[in-house]
Amino acid sequence: MEEKQVSLSVLIIVLSVALIAIFALFSTLHIGVSLDLTGAAVKGQIAVLCKDTDGSNPEKNGIVNIFYGSRFPDQCYNDKEAKEDPTNNGQFLREYKCENNEVTFDVYECSKNKCQYGVCVGSSSTLL
């Protein structure tokens, strides 16, 4: 008799956990319907999906964040086409920014080794 009670208790616990899991699955599927629940800011009637932490300023290190998780940090390069990997010290800055809720970038020439950790330092930068 005791063994049947233990089995019944285990069955009830397993079914309870399964119901909670099913409820959680369906409630997360519903979240995508409302922009207010996704973390996107709403400005007027337009959802702001892209945010630049430095306001496209080449003299400040910034990151462009997209509401669904992508991040684009400002980075230094030794070549203006950014064909090589980013460096800590370079000549060119790729300054990421938001334009019409899309990620884009400008390229600045900071002079030799004056782009440091995503910032044009100690010199005037030239937008290319």
9, 17, 25 from 21: Cα distances, Å:
18, 6, 6
Averaged over 27-35, what is the pLDDT? 47
**Arithmetic mean of pLDDT over the chain:** 78
Q: How confident is the model at residue 32 (pLDDT cuts 50, 70, 90)?
A: very low
Q: List phi, psi (to 5°) of 56.
A: 60, 35
Specify the range with the lowest mean pLDDT, choosing from 33-42, 81-90, 92-101, 113-122. Answer: 33-42
